[in-house]
Amino acid sequence: MTRRLPLLAAPILLAACALVQAAPSAATSETDEARFVALTRQLEREPLADAGKLMRAWLLRWAEQSPDITALVCGKTTPMAPKEHPHHAELLVQGVFGNVAYQIEHPDKRGDEAALQAAAVRSTLRAYAALRSQSGTPAIPELDALAELEQAGTLDAHVAPLAAKCQAEQ
CB 119 within 8 A of CB 149: no
Q: Measured over all CA atoms, what is the biggest interatomic distance in the chain, rounded to whole angstroms?
A: 42
pLDDT in tens, 50-108: 999 999 999 999 999 998 888 877 888 988 889 999 999 999 999 999 999 999 999 99
Distance between CA atoms of residues 117 and 95, nearest Å: 8
pLDDT at 50: 94
pLDDT in tens, 119-155: 999 999 999 999 999 878 999 999 999 999 999 999 9
Distance between CA atoms of residues 11 and 13, nearest Å: 5
**What residues form DSSP beta bridges with 71?**
20
pLDDT at 134: 83
What pTM did the predictor assign?
0.82
Tell me what the pLDDT averaged over the chain comes to: 84
**Sequence spans of domains, the chain:** 4-168
- Over residues 16-23, mean pLDDT: 31
